[in-house]
Structure 1
């Protein structure tokens, strides 16, 4: 299994708008070969730094399935409007990818 995560620093006061973007998006992930699961996670708010942390977490059969998706038309369509909401972000998202070493 492969876990693909993006960390987002969302300006305080824009949390609900950010969540709405994700909830209302057209997602075709369920149709993508190797896709298993998606979750949007809301973390702590850091008032002194002006943001709330969010993580998008997708689970894939393996890294190759994830990589194939990132090169697909589905990926381009899913991200075509990302720049429209730039004002709510404090910097670009940070990608992190993980392969399972051990698990039950």
Structure 2
């Protein structure tokens, strides 16, 4: 603030979906909107907790076992691809349910596990 007036430099913006859930990309916004529309219970982790080795985009909590949702949107990036493979290997090694969406394939084709 300068002279009691806010300045553009004093502001920060966060991409959110219709329900004001913070998202990191427009693709995450689409997924969050779908989850809300389908009345699913889920979390949107915003930061890693101690001991976490990765941060999923979303975590479904209304399933028999919590299931993570990964939205992969930077396919041409080599470093991103390496991290994607690392995440996939971690989920597989833990036998952790994981739903993946790789845009621009239609979100409607993504099959979510049923709610318990």
Q: TM-score, length-normalised on structure 1?
A: 0.33
Q: TM-score, length-normalised on structure 2?
A: 0.31
Higher strand share: 1
